[in-house]
Amino acid sequence: MTSLNEPRLMNLNQITVPSQDLEKSIPFYETLGLKLIVKSLPRYARFECPNGDSTFSLHHTDELPKGEGIYVYFECENLDKKVEELKKAGIKFQLEPTDQKWLWREARLKDVDGNQLILFHAGENRLNPPWKINSKNSK
């Protein structure tokens, strides 16, 4: 049995979201800056994220999730500049870059299937917010 105190044995490296039309979704995500690396139409597409080694994919579904659905966060070093570039490319935002009380700056948009996307910049506060739980005191 492994201890929770051992080095990380798990890493999130892939997110998959539903899409009813990959032909429309692929260009949208390419406009965001993701690089298409697998195109298996009409069922599946996978993208490489521009930084790091994570991937993002779409899978075809006949019915989208109900309710609030999926939220996917993409961190951008220069959020305001990225949002301006995307707006010039025709991407519409529901929320312009806004400073949030959790110390992140966020802009919100939806993909062609209505999945909620958040472009954000958190810097050090993503992993180390002032209210971070101290592992010694979390028991």
pLDDT tens by residue, the chain, 139 residues: 555 566 667 888 999 999 999 999 999 999 999 999 999 999 999 999 998 899 999 999 999 988 888 899 999 999 999 999 999 999 999 999 999 999 999 999 999 999 999 999 999 999 999 999 986 655 5
Q: Is the pTM of this model over 0.75?
A: yes
In a domain, 27, yes or no: yes
In a domain, 114, yes or no: yes
In a domain, 6, yes or no: no
Q: What is the pLDDT of residue 94?
A: 97
In a domain, 134, yes or no: no
**Residue 61's domain spans which residues?**
14-124
Q: What is the pLDDT of residue 6?
A: 65
Tell me how many domains the chain contains: 1
In a domain, 93, yes or no: yes
Using CA atoms, how far residue 52 sits from 14, 48, 61, 87, 122, in Å, is 12, 9, 28, 24, 16
Query: CATH no. for residue 59?
Result: 3.10.180.10
